[in-house]
Structure 1
C-alpha cells in the first residue's frame, strides 16, 4: 500500500499564480503549474515507496514537461520557461516523479487506452490523490469511473480530489494584465463529490438488497477518522456512525429472526435517518437519508404489522428462510390478537401453535392426545380454533408455511424436500403466502408493501 499522486498536464502557456486551498494562506511563491501547489499540499511527507505520476500527451510533454516548450507568437523564438519536471525536481521530494505518455483521446480506442494507463498506476490498497485541473475532454468523467473501478478491483482509497480554479480570475489576457500578487486562485476540494457517489451506491445497495455493509464500511473509513480527531464530539460524524450502527443491528435482527425487536430496530433506524437529514451537510446527501427512512415506513410498533413488514422485507431481499420463519410466528401473533391474547406470552404462543396441530390431526375432541400447555388451557384452545376456522384459508396457509419452513430449516434433509431445481419456488411461495395473508387480515386488501424502487 502506497500513496499515489495523479495529475494531467495540458499544453497551455500557464501564467504565474498564487494558489490557495480552503482558506489557508496562499502559496508564498507564485507558480505556473497547479501541480506544484497540490503536490506541496499532499506529497511533502511522502517516501520513496510512494509515487507522483503526471500524465501527458506527446504535445503536452513537449510544451510543459520539458523546459522552454513555448514560443513567442510574433517572433517564434523559444520562451524561457521551466517545465513541470524541473519545477518538481527543485521541491526536493522523496517520492519519485514520473511522466507517463497517454493518447489524445480522440476516439473510443484511445479513451480505453487512457483508462488502462491510469488504472495501471493504482495498486492494491493505494491512497490516491487526484488533481484533475488540466484533465481534458472526457478525462474528468473517465477519472471518476477509474477511481470507482479501482475501489472495487484494488480496494484503493481516495485521499483527495483537487481542482485549481484559475478561471475565477478572468480570461487569459485579463489575468496576464493583472499584477502577479493579485492572482490568487482557489484550489477546490472535490472529495465530497466522490463521497456522495460512495454513499449513493451504499444507500442503493441497502434499499435494494437490505445489506448495510457498504454503509458500515463508509462510516468506518470516512467518519471514524473524524470521530477520532474530534474525540467523538463531531455531531455529524456521531449521527452518521449511529445510523450505521442501527442499520447493522436492524439487518442482524432480520437475519437472525429477532421478531419482537424488529419494530424497535426499524424505529431506531428511522430516528437516526431523520437526525442525519437535519445535519449541516451538502444538500444532495439529505435525500439519501430520506430514502432510508422511507424504506422502513411499513414497520409499525404493532407486532402484527411489524411481522408482516418484516416478511415483506425478507421476501424482497432474498432472506427466504428467515421470511418463512417470521411468517409462521406472525401467524401465531394474528391468532393471539384475534382472541385478545398477548403476542409476547410464550405459553400462549405454544397454545396457538398446538391449536393448529390439533386441527391438522383432527383431534379436537380427543383431549387426551393434546400436549401441554394446550391440555391445561382447553378454553383458550377452543377460542383459538374458533378463530382459525372463522378465518378463511388460515389453517391451510399455516400448514403450507410450516412445510416450507421445515424443509428450509432441515436443509432439505427429509423425504419430501424440494430438489435444487425447484428451490426457486420458495421465494415465489413466500410472496404468494404473504399476499394472501395480508388480504385476510387487512380490510382494504392492501399489502403492507415497502417501496424498493
Structure 2
C-alpha cells in the first residue's frame, strides 16, 4: 500500500473540470480528512490546495468553458443578488424607488450583482500550474453534447507521453458528469491514459459548519469495467476480460475516510470466483462435457466447474451483505444483480445426468454462438441420448464407457446410417462383444423402421447424418470437398440443435402415451 502511495506522489497530474455560470458560495472542502485553509467559492482551488498537502502534484489545469461561464465565473465571478435592496424597494415602494435610484446607483448593496475574482485569478495566485482553456457550447442539443464529448476526448488523447488524469465533475452543465464518465471509460483504454480520480464536491452533503465533503467516484469506472466483463461472460461465454481485469488489479474506489486504495482483485474469495468462471469457460471451450461420479473434477467436467461458480458466487454475495462498513463493498454491490444472473445460468448445468448436461451445453453454445463447441456437444449428446433410448428398451449400455459408447453404439449408428454390413471379422470383435453390437444395432434399426413407417420428416438418423457432415466440415478447416459458407454453418447448427430438442420432446411424449 505504501509503495502505491509513493508512486502516486511521484506522478504529475492533469486536473480537468468544467465551470458553470452560477455564483458559487464560499465553503471549506474536505477530502480524506484533509481540508483547505480558507473558504473559497471554487472546489477546484480547494482541491488543488488539498492535493498539495497530500504531496500530489498537479502541473496543468484544464477547464471547459462556455461563453457565459468564461465571463461570469472564469475571468471574474458575478454573484446575482436576487433579493437585493433595489429589488425589494422597487416592489414595495415604487415612488420612493424612483426618488433614490440615481443617488444609490453605485452603492454595492443597491446593485443587482457583485463581482469577485474569477477562478482564473484564484489559480494564478496559487501559482506553479499551467492553465489550459477549452471553449465548449452550452450543450443545448444532441449535436452540442457530442461536440463536448469529442472535445473532452481529443484534449486528453492528443497529449504525448503518459497522462495521469483527475476529472472534477462538481460544476458545469448537468450532463457534463455523464459525458465525462462515458468519455473517460473509453479513453482510459488507451495505453498512456490513467484516470486516477473523479472528484465531486457534494454541496448537498455539507455539514452544519459549512464543510463540504469531496467524494471520489473513480469507482464508477471500475463498476463499468467489471460489469462489462461479467456481461461478456454472461452474454458470450467469454471469461478473458474478467481475468485480464483481475490480473491488472483494477483498483476499487478510495475509502472516503482513509484514502487507502482498495483492490477487490486482491480478495481471496473474489480471486476464487474469477478462477471458477475462467475454469468453466475453459471446460466449455475444450468440450469437457462428460460427468463421471468416480473420475470427474471441476477442471475436466463442465457440470462440476459450474457448481464451483455457483458456490463461489454464493460466498461472495453472502460476504458482501455481511459487511458492516458500506464503504468496503461499494464496488461489488452494483455487480450483485449480474452475479445472480450468472448464478442462475450456472445452476442449469449442475446435474449428474450426462444427457441433461449435454442439452444445457448445446443451448449455451447456441446462445453464445460457440458453433464448434456446440457441434461437438450436439453430436456427443445425440450418442448419449441413443444410449438412453437403448437402456429404456432394456439393452444395457454404459454411456461413459468408451467400449460401449464408441465401439458398440457409435458404430451401430454409423452402420445403419450407411446401410453397412458389419461382420464380426470386419469389426474384429470378440464373440461376446459382437453379440452385444448386433443386439444394439437391431434395436436401433427398429426405431429407424418405426420412424419410416410413421413417415416422420424429422428422424434420428436424418439428424445424425446432418450433424456428422456439419461437424466434419467445420473440423477440416474449410478443406473438405463440400465446404459451406460460415453463416450457413451457424444457421445449420442452430437448426440441428433445435431439431434435436424437438425430436427428444416428441420421443418422450410418445413414450408416456
**What TM-score bracket applies, with the shorter chain setting the length?**
0.7 to 0.9
Contact map agreement 2:138 2:144 (CA 8 A) in 1: yes
Contact map agreement 2:219 2:252 (CA 8 A) in 1: no
Contact map agreement 1:9 1:134 (CA 8 A) in 2: yes
Contact map agreement 1:388 1:395 (CA 8 A) in 2: no
Q: Which residue of 2 aligns with 1:74?
A: 110
Contact map agreement 1:129 1:159 (CA 8 A) in 2: yes
Structure ID, larger Rg: 2
Q: Which residue of 2 aligns with 1:174?
A: none
Residue 363 of structure 1: how far off its partner (Å): 4.1
Residue 394 of structure 1: how far off its partner (Å): 2.8
| 1:14 counterpart (20, 24, 35) | 24
Residue 41 of structure 1: how far off its partner (Å): 5.1
Q: Which residue of 2 aligns with 1:406?
A: 472
Contact map agreement 2:473 2:483 (CA 8 A) in 1: yes
Secondary structure in structure 2 of the residue aligned to 1:12? coil
Q: Which residue of 2 aligns with 1:245?
A: 275
Q: Which residue of 2 aligns with 1:366?
A: 423
Residue 445 of structure 1: how far off its partner (Å): 6.5
| 1:115 counterpart (144, 149, 154) | 149
My pick for the range that moved more, 379-388 or 423-432, is 379-388
Q: Residue by residue, what CA displacement relative to the aligned partner does 1:295-343 show, whole Å, maximum 9, x if unpaired?
A: 2232123222112211221112221122111222222333344444443
Contact map agreement 1:232 1:238 (CA 8 A) in 2: no
| 1:288 counterpart (319, 323, 338) | 338
Q: Residue by residue, what CA displacement relative to the aligned partner does 1:24-80 show, whole Å, maximum 9, x if unpaired?
A: 2433443321112333455765668x643111223322333335666846247864x
Q: Which residue of 1 aligns with 2:296?
A: none
Q: Which residue of 2 aligns with 1:437?
A: 500
Cα separation, 2, equivalents of 1:379 and 1:132: 79
My pick for the range that moved more, 9-18 or 111-120, is 9-18
Cα separation, 2, equivalents of 1:359 and 1:45: 80
Cα separation, 2, equivalents of 1:365 and 1:101: 83
Q: Which residue of 2 aligns with 1:85?
A: 120
Cα separation, 2, equivalents of 1:376 and 1:62: 98
Q: Which residue of 2 aligns with 1:58?
A: 67
Q: Residue 162 in 1 paired to residue 199 in 2?
A: yes
RMSD: 3.6
Cα separation, 2, equivalents of 1:130 and 1:78: 29
Question: TM-score, normalization: structure 1?
Answer: 0.80
Q: How does 1:3-402 map to 2 (within 5 A)?
A: 3-22=13-32, 24-40=33-49, 51-66=60-75, 72=108, 74-75=110-111, 79=115, 81-91=116-126, 93=128, 96-123=130-157, 126-151=163-188, 156-169=193-206, 182-221=209-248, 223=250, 237-260=267-290, 261-278=301-318, 279-280=320-321, 281-282=329-330, 283-299=333-349, 300-337=351-388, 338-339=390-391, 340-351=396-407, 352-364=409-421, 366-371=423-428, 377-389=433-445, 391=447, 393-402=459-468
Contact map agreement 1:388 1:394 (CA 8 A) in 2: no
Contact map agreement 1:407 1:414 (CA 8 A) in 2: yes
Cα separation, 1, equivalents of 2:358 and 2:289: 7
Residue 407 of structure 1: how far off its partner (Å): 0.9
Contact map agreement 2:36 2:49 (CA 8 A) in 1: no
Cα separation, 2, equivalents of 1:16 and 1:290: 46
The total of aligned residue pairs comes to 426
Q: Which runs of 5+ in 2 are unaligned?
A: 1-10, 81-107, 254-258, 291-300, 322-328, 452-458
Secondary structure in structure 2 of the residue aligned to 1:6? strand
Question: TM-score, normalization: structure 2?
Answer: 0.72
Q: Which residue of 2 aligns with 1:449?
A: none
Residue 292 of structure 1: how far off its partner (Å): 1.1
Cα separation, 2, equivalents of 1:56 and 1:17: 22
Residue 405 of structure 1: how far off its partner (Å): 0.8
Relative contact order, CA 8 A, sep 6+: which one is greater? Answer: 1
Contact map agreement 1:277 1:287 (CA 8 A) in 2: no
Q: Residue by residue, what CA displacement relative to the aligned partner does 1:111-148 show, whole Å, maximum 9, x if unpaired?
A: 23222221112228744322111122322232233223
My pick for the range that moved more, 272-281 or 69-78, is 69-78
Contact map agreement 1:439 1:445 (CA 8 A) in 2: no
Assess, with a 3 A threshold, how the Cα gap between structure 1 residues 231 and 155 changes in structure 2: closer, same or farther: closer
Contact map agreement 2:138 2:173 (CA 8 A) in 1: no
